A = this chain, B = another copy of it.
Amino acid sequence: MKTLRLALIGFGNVGQGFAQILIEHGSRLAVQYGVQFKIVAVADLQKGSVADAAGLDPQLLLQAAAGGDFKSLPEALQRDWAALDMIAHVQAEVLLELAFTDLQTGEPAYSHVKAALQKGMHVVTTNKGPVALHYAELSALAQAHGVQFAGEGTVMSGTPTVRLGQDVLRAAGIRQLEGILNGTTNYILTQMESGLSYAAALAQAQALGYAEADPAGDVEGHDAAGKVVILANLLLGVPLRMADVSCQGITGITSEMVADAQLAGERWKLVGRLQVQPDGSVQASVQPQRLPLSHPLANISGATNALAYTTDLVGTVTVSGPGAGRLPTGFAILSDLLAIARIA
């Protein structure tokens, strides 16, 4: 039985989802894959930091987190570590960087990832910041230290778009990627087709927890643009920057435009697109677009996400699935970890 020791930065929704997976599926995974995962340290900005070289009980971590912080855990587990302290002190094969996303600077995740890679730890992240803004540097650093830098959960949560592209479809010669990469905007557009105004649909998305109180990151297209940059880096090997993405959100879409499209047998979708040009460069955009119902993305409704890969050898392959969620994002981490276990 192989053991991978894990150090976590951040124990919010995603970290808790992953802990729940270890509790409910750990024994099955040990049998199926011959590997067990042991959480040996957690550092969370709000909840504090705890560590145990023998392994922290995920169930106890979840109970403590439900109470608000780790203070209820035994004294012997308590640490006074900021995230970078934890990376410096912990003995673990993998860092899970699950802190909040900042698409302006990538910090503090960027510094965390860098420190862990320099220490020779594999890094798995669900944080778009470091992958969208610093992928070329960080993947070179990973390679120099003989470790993996993996981010399946940065795009479409656990729907395995990154792995499918990297492990399989890249060999088919990817010409274009087109995706519905943001569930909030897709939910809003879907609700507008049932007759809701933009404002009412947005309010509903906020009530359901899909959209933030300040919805700009979603509705202006920035979140989708971050994912477009990540896909360019991970699947096309082209180091795009956020500024390279021509980006337009859905705030200008009116009920009339939605109704017009419906009459024409079409649908408005916020489409993230990467097109490989004849010279090998890549054109990147996020923009609302009227798609005919025959388009593989036209029938993706609600909070579902989808990515269509157009390739030289196998034509168009489309993958759809959840774009967010506690367990799906936890599963994204698991699938990166299983890939690391295969080579570790």
| Chain A interfacial positions (CB closer than 8 Å to B) | 21, 25, 28-29, 32-33, 157-160, 163-164, 167-173, 293-294, 296, 298-299, 301, 312-322, 325, 327-328, 330-331, 334-335, 338
Q: Which of B296, B299, B321 interacts with A314 by CB under 8 Å?
A: B321
Residue of B whose beta carbon sits closest to that of A327: B313
B294 touches A168 (CB 8 A): no
Measured between beta carbons, the chain B residues less than 8 angstroms from A325 are 315
Known interface pairs A164-B160, A167-B163, A171-B33; A315-B328 also in contact (CB < 8 Å):
yes
Pair B328/A314 contact, Cβ less than 8 Å: yes
A32-B171, A298-B299, A314-B328 given; 15 more Cβ-contact pairs under 8 Å:
A25-B312, A28-B173, A29-B171, A157-B314, A158-B313, A158-B314, A159-B314, A160-B164, A160-B168, A171-B338, A315-B322, A315-B328, A317-B320, A317-B321, A318-B318
Of the candidates A29, A293, A314, A330, the one having the most CB atoms from chain B within 10 angstroms of its own CB is: A314
Cβ B164 vs Cβ A25 within 8 A = no
Taking the closest CB of chain B, its distance from the CB of A85, in whole angstroms, is 32
Q: Are B313 and A328 in contact, with the CB atoms below 8 A?
A: yes
Name the CB-closest residue of B to A173. Answer: B25
Chain B residues with CB under 8 Å of A32's CB are 170-171
For A293, list chain B residues within 8 Å (CB).
299
Report chain B residues within 8 Å CB of A322.
314-315
| 7 nearest CB pairs, A to B | A317-B321, A158-B314, A299-B299, A313-B331, A160-B168, A314-B328, A314-B331
Residue of B nearest to A318 (CB): B320
Give Cα distance in the complex from A193 to B186, angstroms: 28
Q: Contacts of A169 on B, CB cut-off 8 Å? A: 160
Of all chain B residues, which has the CB nearest A311? B331
Q: Contacts A25-B173, A160-B169, A335-B171: A321 and B315 contacting too (C-beta < 8 A)?
A: yes
A317 touches B159 (CB 8 A): yes
Instruction: Give the Cβ gap from A168 to chain B, nearest Cβ, in Å.
Output: 4
Which residue on chain B has the smallest CB distance to residue A24? B312
Known: A164-B160, A171-B33. A318 touches B321 (CB 8 A): yes
Knowing A33-B171, A331-B172, say if A313 contacts B25 (CB, 8 Å): yes
A298 to chain B: closest residue by CB: B299
Q: How far apart are A216's CB and chain B's nearest CB, in angstroms?
A: 28
A33's nearest neighbour on chain B, judged by CB, is: B171
Contact B319 A318 (CB under 8 A): yes
Q: Which residues of B contact A296 (CB under 8 A)?
A: 320
CB pair B173–A168 under 8 Å, yes or no, is no
A316 to B327, CA, bound (A): 12
Report Cα–Cα, A168/B321, bound state, in Å.
14
A299 vs B171: C-alpha distance when bound (angstroms): 27
**A143: min CB distance to chain B, Å:** 14
The complex places the Cα of A147 from the Cα of B230 at a distance, in Å, of 35
Known contacts A29-B171, A171-B29, A317 near B314 by CB under 8 Å = no
